[in-house]
Each structure stands twice: as C-alpha cells, then as structure tokens.
Structure 1
Amino acid sequence: MTSTTSLFSPVEADLRLLTENLKKLVGARHPILFAAAEYLFGARGKRVRPAIVLLLSRATIPDRQLTPRHRRLAAITEMIHTASLVHDDVVDESEVRRGVPTVHSRFGNRVAVLAGDFLFAQSSWYLANLDNLEVVKLLSEVIMDLAEGEIQQGLNRFDSHLSIEAYLEKSYYKTASLIANSAKAAGILSEVTAEMAEDFYQYGRHIGLAFQIVDDILDFTGSTESLGKNAGSDLQSGNLTAPVLFALEEKPYLEVLIEREFAEADDLEKAMTLIKESNGISRSRELAAHHAEVAVKHLNCLEPSECSEALVKLADYVLSRLY
C-alpha cells in the first residue's frame, strides 16, 4: 500500500515546515496550552487536509512557488481539524487516538476543551488576516458544519431508522466540509476561475466522503492495533454508519439489538456478527469507491503535474486502506 509520505512527496518539505509553523502559531503565552498543542502537532497524523491544500496550491501557481497565504491556509486547515478532534474525543470520552492517549486523557477535560477552543480562536484570527472575505466565509462555514455534524451524531444515537442520506449529510459536516471548503479556498487564493474553484470543492467533498466511509468500514474490519481504538467502538456508542445501515436492510434482529442499546452481555458481539454476515461492508466499499471515482473526475481541470498526479493517487490510497 502506498504510504502518505511517498504520496505527498511533492509537498513533503512544505508539510515538514507546516508542523514547525503550527507550534509557533499557537505561541508560548499559555504554557499548558502550548504543551497540549505541541503534543497534538507532534503526533503522527497523516496531514491529509493540509497536503490537499498544498498540492492544489502548487498545481495552480504558475511557477509552483507557494505564497505565504497558501501556507497559512494549510496551517489553518490543520488547526481547525485538530481542534475538532480534541473536542470530539472529549464528547466521545475516547482514551486513545491513533494509538496514543488523547489530550483530555493526558491533560484533563478542562485543558482539552480550552485547547480546542484556543485552536479554533487562533485559526479564526489567522483566517481573518488572510484578507480574503470569500475564504473567511468558506472556512467559517466549516467551523459551523463541524458543530452541526457533532450535534446530528449526538441526536441520532441508536436510531435504527437513520437513512443513508442523513448519514452522508452528517459525514459531510464532520469530515468532508473542511476538505471541500479548504480545497476551494486554495483555488481562490490562486485566483483560478469560479468553475475550477467549484471543481476543487467537489473533489474535496467526494474524497472526504470516501475517506469517512472507509474509516467507518475499518471500524468493523480493522484490528484494534491498526485502528488505535477498540474495533466496533462507533457501534457501541450508538453511532450508526454505512455498514450498519445497509446491514439493517437484511438483518431485522440487528434493529432489536440497537434499539435496546446492546444492554445484554453479548449484544454487541451478536451485532458485529450480523453486520459481517450481511452485504453491509461490501455495499459500503462500493459507496466509498463511487465517491472516490467522482472526486477524481473533478481533477480533469488541472494540467498534468506531480501535484495533480498525487491528488489522483490519493483517491486510490483512500480505498487501499481497506485491503
């Protein structure tokens, strides 16, 4: 399987610089928040979101030289993503992420909430300083979408009548909105046409949905070690994803288990077995593949380059995580 390191080789140096800049952007005025931020940004994340911003930026700048505003947009994108993860982990009471302790389990809930708030505030400040109203609007909408997605997920816990459409809407808010809108923002800073900026948005939207669907499949097929959390943890918390919703169409008893919130000792294990026996996982794979395919079609507007090729390969990488 292609690694993100080799995949993002055209912007590898940019991503290294990004990691250092992120720590500087937080500043040292608040030692405990700085410690939390340093811990966060030192974690071995994939940096997919800023990489997409940087690849699209380099693909659309005539001399391939990034402007400070493009670099700042990439950093803002990662700050917003990281802030949302910190808050998600507090809400979900997750003890580990990517195999390492979460911020709240290491520093406490109070620091985690403050660190998330601080990162959102800092990202908003740097966003305003880009002096581009359209970009400010796009990324401000993302922050609202993240909250909307978290609210929808909370309200729909253990709702066995949730539709695939509602699941995709929530997935857009929680995952795809940031990728889509930051991709479009990169195009706007490069002064591309409105049509091309919309193509970037659609690429980000569909690659984001594919990414989320794959993550949701891995919750059933991945090992605890590879997931960095217990397999089936989303299902146990009542977060019903594509594999579950498709399986419900075939396995009526699954609804009984979900409606009683896995109250009996072996309910969760029974539910996992029913899902794996159904076509839920294979249908979810098809759904992820569809969105990855649509994403790539929206890159036809770009001239061939190392950067555009990396963006195409990213779609293959997203799907390859399943195998």
Structure 2
Amino acid sequence: MHVESVLPLASYHFDGDGKCLRPLVILCWAKAINFILKETSPKVIENQKKVAQVAEMVHGTCLYHDDVIDDAIKRRAKPTINFLCGQKKSIWAGDFVLGRALETISQISNNKVCILLTRMIQNVVTGELMQLDAGATEEERFSQYIDKTFKKTASVFAYPCQAVLVLAGADATLQTTAFEFGRQLGIAYQLVDGITDFPAIASTEYGKELAVDLNQGLANMPVLFAAQQFPELNPMILRHFKEPGDVATAYNLILKSDGLQRTEELAIQYYGDAMDKIAQLPQSPYQEMLFTVTHQLLNKIK
C-alpha cells in the first residue's frame, strides 16, 4: 500500500471533530512557561508544538487499535475504520500514525524530551495491557486501577507537559509541577469518563453509549466502589462480565450503590490537586486559561 493510500485512513481521527484536549492543555503550559521565562525563540515554540502533536498522535494511535480490540462500530458518532475497512487496515493505520509520531520526536533534537515522550509511549502500552488483566486481588484493585489510569491516560498529559517546560529551559521544580498537574488531571479525566458510563450523572454531550466499559469487560472505579457494598460483583469482575446477565446485574447494582458518588468525590479531589499545581505558577493570561480548561472539565460532573 502506498503512503498516499494510507493517509486518508491515518488522518481519519484527525478531522477536527475531536476535543483536542491534550494539545490544548500542553500548549497552555508551553505558553505559560514561555511568558514566565520570556522565551520567544521560534525554534523552541515550534518544538513545543511538535510535543503537542506527538501527544495527540499517540492518543490517535490508541483509538485505531482500541476500535479493533473492542470491535467498535462507531466513534465520535461516525463509523470506525475498523468497521469501514476491517481490522487489518485499522491496525496498520494506527501503526502509521505512531510511526509519524516517532518521526516527529526525532525532529525535536532534545535528548531529555525524546526520553520523556518515548517513556510516555511505553506507559500507554503498559496501561493498555494492565487494562486487560482483572487478576488483581480486591485489596490491590484500587491502587492498580490508579496506576493503570496514569499509564494509559494521564501519562499522555504528564510527560508532554513536562517536555514543553524542558524545551523552555524551566528548572526541575517547575518541570515536576507540570508533570504532577498532568498526572492529576489525566486521572481525574478518566474517573469522570467512568462516571459517564451510567445515566445517574451521564450527559449526552459526551456522545457516549451507556455501560460501554461493562460491555467491554472492564471494571472502572464506580464498579470497584460498588463491589465493596455488593460482593457479588467480585466474581463478575474476575470473569470480565462475560456470563449472560452479568452486565445488566452489575449495572443495576452499581446504580444502587454509592459508587458513582464516591467516584465523583475522588475525581474532584484529583481536579483540586491539578488546580493547586496551576496555582504555583505566576499569574498570567495562560495560567488563567489553564484554570478555565480544568474548571470546565470538572463542571461536566456537576
């Protein structure tokens, strides 16, 4: 297959219909630190944009591959490449996007940034593998869920946020602040996504079908909290909700439990921690933009 024939497939998820949350947050951090350090170098600014592009491409790669794993028919209210063209083309399109991401990383020519971004990719793959494993004990489930969520979701915020500060010449303290912000925001974002699996708080603006995680055999945080009240959920978690009636039974038990409320409280805690990291920056219009973006995400569950 020629590159020209791959490009329509590889650009399918980059049509402007997505939220582009990752590049938005990453570039807000870049602009905030550039304002603080009076960094105006066109090369630095261009490389910071490349970091944001890499983060979105890695996320896009996951969409192509997830659609195959989940046998998804639709994403963002349109047919998936997996549905339109089959599994093989969806996989190869995702691989092509990842290849372009790696090519972009090589163009940045900063060793520490390359390490951070390749570490992000390693974390995403590890997180995806962890998601397929329901073998953790009841005591380990919560810590493993947070660890998996960091690797699969939050790392695509955390490492790039740190990387754009590296490019601007920020000190280690500011780099850590940016990384921790990305970690807390990414985990909170995934917790909210788990809440929207259920109608008690779910909103149609997410464009998401209900009980998606359950139907895919995944135990998100509302499920884990609910299992503390209803132990009969535990064997269902271990068998990935595969027996007839598992999804419907689990769904009803979760709605009866306080799992959604406790997940919302936990998400608010992580969002608060993310806000605290932003507050450590000197005041600037870009700090205000970060507050606004984070606050808007929090409001989706209120």
TM-score normalised according to structure 2 size: 0.90
Is residue 126 from structure 1 mapped to residue 104 from structure 2 by the alignment? yes
**Aligned counterparts of 1:304 and 1:149: Cα–Cα separation in 2:** 35
Change (3 A) 1:263 1:136: closer
Is residue 95 from structure 1 mapped to residue 73 from structure 2 by the alignment? yes
Structure 1 vs Structure 2: percent identity of aligned residues? Answer: 30
2:12 aligned to 39, 45, 57, which one?
39
1:252-275 per-residue CA deviation (whole Å, 9 max, x = no partner) reads 222344455545544322211110
Change (3 A) 1:223 1:52: closer
For structure 2, the residue ranges without an aligned partner over 5 or more in a row are none
* Counterpart secondary structure, 2:198: helix
Equivalent position of 1:19 in the other structure: none
1:61 aligned to 34, 44, 48, which one?
34
RMSD of equivalent CA atoms:
2.3
* Counterpart secondary structure, 1:44: coil
**Aligned counterparts of 2:133 and 2:258: Cα–Cα separation in 1:** 27
1:183 aligned to 161, 165, 168, which one?
161
**Aligned counterparts of 1:132 and 1:273: Cα–Cα separation in 2:** 51
Q: Residues 160 and 258 of structure 1 are in contact (CA less than 8 Å); yes or no, is this contact kept in structure 2? A: no
**Aligned counterparts of 1:159 and 1:106: Cα–Cα separation in 2:** 39
1:190-209 per-residue CA deviation (whole Å, 9 max, x = no partner) reads 11111001100000000000
Equivalent position of 2:185 in the other structure: 207
Counterpart residue identity of residue 130, structure 1: I
**Aligned counterparts of 1:155 and 1:262: Cα–Cα separation in 2:** 13
Q: Residues 158 and 258 of structure 1 are in contact (CA less than 8 Å); yes or no, is this contact kept in structure 2? A: no
Change (3 A) 1:264 1:133: closer
Change (3 A) 1:108 1:132: same
1:50 aligned to 23, 28, 37, which one?
23
Equivalent position of 2:279 in the other structure: 300
For structure 1, the residue ranges without an aligned partner over 5 or more in a row are 1-28
Counterpart residue identity of residue 110, structure 1: K
Change (3 A) 1:227 1:158: farther
Farther-moved stretch of structure 1 (73-82 vs 55-64): 55-64
> How far 1:227 moved relative to its partner?
4.2
Counterpart residue identity of residue 32, structure 2: A
2:90 aligned to 107, 112, 115, which one?
112
**Aligned counterparts of 2:112 and 2:153: Cα–Cα separation in 1:** 21
> How far 1:79 moved relative to its partner?
1.0
Farther-moved stretch of structure 1 (219-228 vs 167-176): 219-228
> How far 1:107 moved relative to its partner?
2.4
Equivalent position of 1:21 in the other structure: none
Q: Residues 154 and 183 of structure 2 are in contact (CA less than 8 Å); yes or no, is this contact kept in structure 1? A: yes
Is residue 310 from structure 1 mapped to residue 259 from structure 2 by the alignment? no
TM-score normalised according to structure 1 size: 0.85
Change (3 A) 1:87 1:262: closer
**Aligned counterparts of 1:87 and 1:261: Cα–Cα separation in 2:** 20
**Aligned counterparts of 2:135 and 2:51: Cα–Cα separation in 1:** 34
Equivalent position of 2:61 in the other structure: 83
Equivalent position of 1:288 in the other structure: 267
**Aligned counterparts of 1:158 and 1:238: Cα–Cα separation in 2:** 15
Change (3 A) 1:143 1:262: closer
Count of residues paired in the alignment: 296
Equivalent position of 2:151 in the other structure: 173
Counterpart residue identity of residue 296, structure 1: M
Q: Residues 219 and 237 of structure 2 are in contact (CA less than 8 Å); yes or no, is this contact kept in structure 1? A: no
Farther-moved stretch of structure 1 (157-166 vs 80-89): 157-166
Q: Residues 157 and 239 of structure 1 are in contact (CA less than 8 Å); yes or no, is this contact kept in structure 2? A: no
Change (3 A) 1:263 1:171: closer
Counterpart residue identity of residue 295, structure 2: D
**Aligned counterparts of 1:93 and 1:155: Cα–Cα separation in 2:** 18
Equivalent position of 2:217 in the other structure: 238
Change (3 A) 1:305 1:293: same
1:86-138 per-residue CA deviation (whole Å, 9 max, x = no partner) reads 11221121221222222211222111111111111111111111110000000
Equivalent position of 1:24 in the other structure: none
Change (3 A) 1:294 1:260: closer
Q: Residues 229 and 257 of structure 2 are in contact (CA less than 8 Å); yes or no, is this contact kept in structure 1? A: yes
Is residue 198 from structure 1 mapped to residue 182 from structure 2 by the alignment? no
**Aligned counterparts of 1:245 and 1:266: Cα–Cα separation in 2:** 19
Q: Residues 136 and 144 of structure 2 are in contact (CA less than 8 Å); yes or no, is this contact kept in structure 1? A: no
> How far 1:314 moved relative to its partner?
2.2
